[in-house]
Amino acid sequence: MRVEELLITAFESLKINRKRSFLTIIGIAIGIASVVTILGIGDGVKKTMYDKFAHDSTEKYQTAKIYYTTGEESAMDGFTQEDVAKVETMFPQVKKAYLAHETDDLNLSGTVGEKQGTYAVSLINKNSAQAKLVCGKKFDRTVLLGGDHQALISEALAKRQYHSAYKALGTAVNIDHRNYQVVGVYRQHDFYDESGSIDKYGADIILAKAVYYGGKEMTSGNSLKVKMDVSAKQAAKLATKIKKYLNKHGSAKNNGSYEYDNMEQMLKQFNATIDIFTGVIAFVAGISLFIAGIGVMNMMYISVSERTQEIGIRLAVGASQQNIMWQFLIEAMMLTVFGGMIGFIFGGLLSHLITPLLSQAMVTGITIKAHISLKAFMISFGVSAGVGLIFGILPARQAAKKNLVDILK
Amino acid sequence: MNNLIELKKLNKSYGQGDTAYHVLHDIDLEVKMGELTAIIGESGSGKSTLINIIGFLDTDFSGEYLFKEQPIQDLKAKDLAFLRNQDVGFVFQNFKLIRGLSVYANVALPLLYAGKKRNEIESAILAALKKVGLAGYEKALPQNMSGGQQQRVAIARAIVSHPSFLIADEPTGALDSQNSRDIMELFKKLNAEGTTILMVTHDPRIAKACKRTIEILDGRIIADSKGRVAK
């Protein structure tokens, strides 16, 4: 019999007993759905973290931050303008190096309303079109250049302290021992934006950078930003080279060390950890597949037993033992592959439903999206076909070995 | 070719040693092309065992079986399956159609196992159904048909690949008298067109309708209307 006819014959036989076929594939569908859900969440976490924190290969220039640390209280800054010039000279791929405030996103103590506490504060040097104001106004140009002490606060903070956004307008907040007047209330964003950077409008309070730092240009500091004309893959390597160079030739090499957080390396390790976790959990979920496979084998044995007459008829009209064996084996594999594909679809849907809940529960400010990869599909297809093959072969061989004369008595 | 089927000193036993049960004793038989032969005998006489051997269903025997002057004893299972597919058509007492498959699908089986494609076999199937008087019944399910109709489907399946001979094992055993007559008329018509038919029956009226009658008793041929009697 031709291969395509064998496939059609197997399919027609399964159609005859639809209820039993459906019940058989439920176990496989559940097993595969569990595995795909876990893989989808694991791959989603990895992809989300990578997309957010790895170097962006679409950017023309890559940016890295090298910082100086002493491990003890020291009045000496790690970088001077001389270090900046050295880096720009020694590394031609560095388009620009500049001293940066260690961060524009701070946790500062202060008082808002009557509540004293620590508040997330972001410093901006320009307004963002994406920021949505609930009431009031944004900073005007004079404030951004270092004018009046004004502040924007988040709607959530305004409601907490003043019971409404409008009541917060005009009040004074004290941040890091300085008073600022609230001129606007904005809708708060997530902590991190789509590109993985800290979203300024994810903080509780916004201040003008020039106002907070007093508008002085930095001549020294503990943070150096470098803009590199290299690919995303090369960026970490080059930044590491710069770090090593500074540890040998930096102005403060003897009092501390220059460090660079290699996100690529961290992400690799993070991914490896996630892989271990998802692998273990998927393995446990895979045990259900083994049990489902036993169910398939059991069902096939029953099917062979019930269809003894049919086997005899087929042998009598010219089927070979191989034809019979292949028919039953293909039936088993069709059931498991079909169940696997149903499980794959459900697993994909389930992982997309679960990951937003996971994001909320983790409270990292990152929205994790499930990611169903080609690898997950290949695993689903391969495992379900494998289950059909392994658990279908014995019943299929039994069918082929039936004694024709005994059957047709 | 003289004989289509030739059996020489054919013996068949079940079991071994002291518990061996000897079913067929020194059977000598020749069947020529175009014969319509009835094999009659009481229950347990060995007639079904004989036609199982003739129809390549059972190869566990001693003696010689020449089909188209070629010995078949040493053929492999695959080769015997090929012979069953190409050279013999079976018609059983209780029809032996596959439940759940349509009339068309049942009749198609020998052609599909012969390696033909689905789109090549339609005309052969329709022709076979027309011959047995079931044109238009392609989509029907056998379990919804009468006994006589089901037996016609079984005959259509048996003749669709134009085999060398048909074996019918009590083909009218499950039918009423009218249907039995109709089926016998069909067999006679097929034989008139050149089909060799071997028919097992315990019904003397069926035997009378055949050109040749072979009588079996206790595993031996005791009478053959062609004139040869077993010793």
- Select from B12, B107, B113, B157 the residue whose CB has the most chain A CBs within 10 Å, as the one to mutate to test that interface: B113
Res B230 pLDDT > 60: no
% of chain A exceeding 90 in pLDDT: 27
Helix/strand/coil for A137: coil
Q: Which one-letter amino acid corresponds to residue A407?
A: I
Compare CB distances from B96 to A13, A16, A313 and report the shortest one's residue.
A313
Query: Does residue A58 or residue A398 have the better pLDDT?
Result: A398
Dist. CA A102–CA A222, nearest whole Å: 7
**Number of folded domains that form chain B:** 1
Handedness of CA A83, A89, A91, A96 (dihedral sign): positive
Give the predicted TM-score (pTM) of the model: 0.72
Q: What is residue B231's predicted lDDT score, i.e. its pLDDT? A: 40
- Is A32:A347 a contact under the CB 8 Å cutoff? yes
A256 vs B: CB within 8 A: no
- pLDDT tens across B144-154, in order? 999 889 999 99
Cα Dmax for chain B: 56
Res A216 pLDDT > 60: no
Instruction: Assign B229 a pLDDT band (cuts: 50, 70, 90).
Output: very low
- Can you tell me the mean pLDDT for B122-132? 93
Instruction: Assign B1 a pLDDT band (cuts: 50, 70, 90).
Output: low
Q: Report the DSSP pairing between strands B62-67 and B5-14.
A: antiparallel
The answer to whether residue B230 sits within a structural domain is no
A89 vs B: CB within 8 A: no
- pLDDT tens across B211-225, in order? 899 999 999 988 888
| Domain that residue B112 falls in | 5-224
- pLDDT tens across A137-156, in order? 998 888 888 888 899 999 99
The answer to whether residue B88 sits within a structural domain is yes
Res A131 pLDDT > 90: no
- Can you tell me the mean pLDDT for A162-180? 90
- pLDDT tens across A15-42, in order? 888 888 888 889 889 888 988 888 888 8
Dist. CA A188–CA B174, nearest whole Å: 85
- Can you tell me the mean pLDDT for B43-70? 90
The answer to whether residue B231 sits within a structural domain is no
How far lies A196's CA from each of A55, A105, A190, A366, B111, in Å?
10, 14, 11, 8, 65
Q: What are phi and psi of A64, to 5 degrees?
A: -135, 155
The answer to whether residue B182 sits within a structural domain is yes
Q: What is residue A407's predicted lDDT score, i.e. its pLDDT? A: 77
Dist. CA B95–CA A248, nearest whole Å: 95
Compare CB distances from A16 to B90, B100, B113 and report the shortest one's residue.
B100
Residue whose pair of structure tokens reads 């259900």 in the numeric block? A288
Instruction: Assign A130 a pLDDT band (cuts: 50, 70, 90).
Output: confident
| Chain A 298-327, residues with CB within 8 Å of chain B CB atoms | 309-310, 312-323
Give the CATH number for residue B202: 3.40.50.300
Residue whose pair of structure tokens reads 């197997």 in the numeric block? A10
The answer to whether residue B27 sits within a structural domain is yes
The answer to whether residue B229 sits within a structural domain is no
Res A340 pLDDT > 80: yes
- Select from B86, B98, B111, B162 the residue whose CB has the most chain A CBs within 10 Å, as the one to mutate to test that interface: B98
At what angle are helices A18-53 and A321-362 packed, to 10 degrees? 40
